[in-house]
Structure 1
Amino acid sequence: MSAEDRVAERRARLLEAALELMGTKGASATTVRGVAEESGVAARYVYESFTSVEALHLAVFDAIAAESAERAIAALMAVPDHADDASRTARVRAVLAAMADLMLEDPRKGRVVLQEAVSSPVLGPRLLEESRRFAAMLAATASVGDPLAPSADLPAGLRLTAHFLIGGVAHAFAAVLEGDVDVDREELVDVLVELFLTVDARIVELAT
C-alpha cells in the first residue's frame, strides 16, 4: 500500500468513527481522543487529514449532504418526465423515498444533518447552505426541469415555496428520527408525497 493509500484509508476510518460518535453520542461528544479510540487510528493522524475536530465534523456533514444530493438527483433522473400529473407524482415519490431510505436506513446520518447541525455553531451555517441548495434545486426543477440550472432569477414566490417544502420535509424526517411520530417508512413517504404535491401545485403555477 502506498503512502497516499494509507492516508486515504486512515481518513476513511476517521470519518466512519466520527459518524458513529456524532450519530449516537452527538457532535459535542465527538472529540479527537474519542474518534481516535473508535477508529483505532492514533490521535496524531487526525491532524494529518483534518485541521481540527470541527473540520472533521464538517467533513462528516458534507459527506452526508453530498450523498443526499446524489441520491435525490439520481432518483429524479431515473423517472421519465412526461410533463403530466402521473410523472410528476412518480418523480416526487422517487425523490422522497430516496431521502427516507437515506435517513432511516442509517439513522446516524439523519441525526447528524437534522438534529446535531441545528444546535452546532459549526454545522449550523452549513445546514443553512445545504437547505438553500436543495431549495434552489427544487425551484430549478419546477421551472426548467433541471435541478442544476440557475435559480437566483426565478420568481420570489417560487423560491419561497421551495424553501417551505424543503424545511417541512426536513422537520418531518427529524420528528420521525426523534421518536415524536411513530410511523413506518411507507406511511412516511405516502404522507410526505401527498403534502408535497399539494404545495407543489402552487410551485407549478409560479413556475409557468
Structure 2
Amino acid sequence: MAGRLRAPTGRYGGKSAAERQAERRRRFLEAALRLFGDTPGYRATTVAALSEAAGLSTRQFYEEFRTLEDVLAALHLQVNDWAEQAVLDALAEAGRLPLAERVAALFRAYAANVTADPRRIRITFVEIIGVSPRLEEQRLERRSRWVDLICAEAEAAAARGEAAPRDYRLAATAFIGSVNGLLHDWSAGWVEATLDETVDELVRQLLAILRPPAWTEDGY
C-alpha cells in the first residue's frame, strides 16, 4: 500500500479530527504493547488482530499506519522516550550531587522505568532485533542517544574534577551494551539478583570507567 487512507475531517462526538486521530493512535500503540510485548509477539501479530485488540477497524488502522512495522517503530520510539524522560527528570532533581549519587540516580530512574513493564524490555531488546534495515538503523540511533547522554555526563564530571578527562565515546558505547544485556537478562530471570543489586553493579561499572585506579582528583 502506497500510503495511509485519508482520515475523516471535522468534529464528531465533541472531538476534533486531530483529537480523534491522536486517540486512535494511542489505542493502536497500547494494543501493540500488549501483543508485541507479550503474546503472540510482533512477528505473529496481524493487522486484524491488532485492530481487534485496539477496539478499532482495519480501515482505521490504515488511516494511521501503512504497516505493522510502522507500529513497531512508533512503539519502540515511545518506550525509549519514556525512559529518556525519566532519566532527564532524575538528573534534573540530582542537581549538583556528588558523582556517585548522580550516577546512581540516573540508573535507578532508567531501570525503574524500563522494568516497570516487562513488555517494554521485550520491545526494546527483543522484538526490534532483525526486523528490517530501517528498524536496525532506528535502534542504533536511539542507542547512540544514550551514548551521547553518558558522554555528556562524563565530560561534565571531568570538567568538575570528579572524573578522568578523556574521550568517553568508545567506553560509553561498550557500557550501554552492558546495560542493555544485563537488564534484559535480569528481566528474563537469568540473573540471580534483585533489581537494586543489578543497578548497583551498573553504577560500580560506570564509576570504574570514570575513575580508573590510577586516577585521583589531582590527576594521574
TM-score (norm 1): 0.84
The one of 130, 135, 141 aligned to 1:123 = 135
| Residue 154 of structure 2 corresponds to residue 142 of structure 1 | yes
| Residue 46 of structure 2 corresponds to residue 36 of structure 1 | no
- Preserved contact between residue 72 and residue 128 of structure 2 (Cα < 8 Å): no
TM-score (norm 2): 0.80
Measure, in 1, the Cα distance between the counterparts of 2:69 and 2:180.
Answer: 23
Q: Write out the 4+ residue segments of structure 1 that deviate beyond 4 Å after TM superposition.
A: none
The one of 174, 184, 189 aligned to 2:184 = 174
1:99 matched to which residue of 2? 110
User: By how many angstroms is 1:20 displaced?
Assistant: 0.9
Q: 1:144 to 1:194 in 2, by over 3 A?
A: closer
- Stretches of structure 1 lacking an aligned partner (at least 5 in a row): 146-153
Measure, in 1, the Cα distance between the counterparts of 2:70 and 2:105.
Answer: 33
Aligned residue identity for 2:172: A
User: By how many angstroms is 1:162 displaced?
Assistant: 1.0
- Preserved contact between residue 111 and residue 177 of structure 1 (Cα < 8 Å): no
When Rg is computed on C-alpha atoms for both structures, the one with the higher figure is 2
The one of 192, 200, 205 aligned to 2:210 = 200
Higher helix proportion: 1
Count how many residue pairs are aligned between Structure 1 and Structure 2: 191
Measure, in 1, the Cα distance between the counterparts of 2:35 and 2:210.
Answer: 37
SS of 1:118's partner is coil
| Residue 75 of structure 2 corresponds to residue 60 of structure 1 | yes
Measure, in 2, the Cα distance between the counterparts of 1:81 and 1:40.
Answer: 47
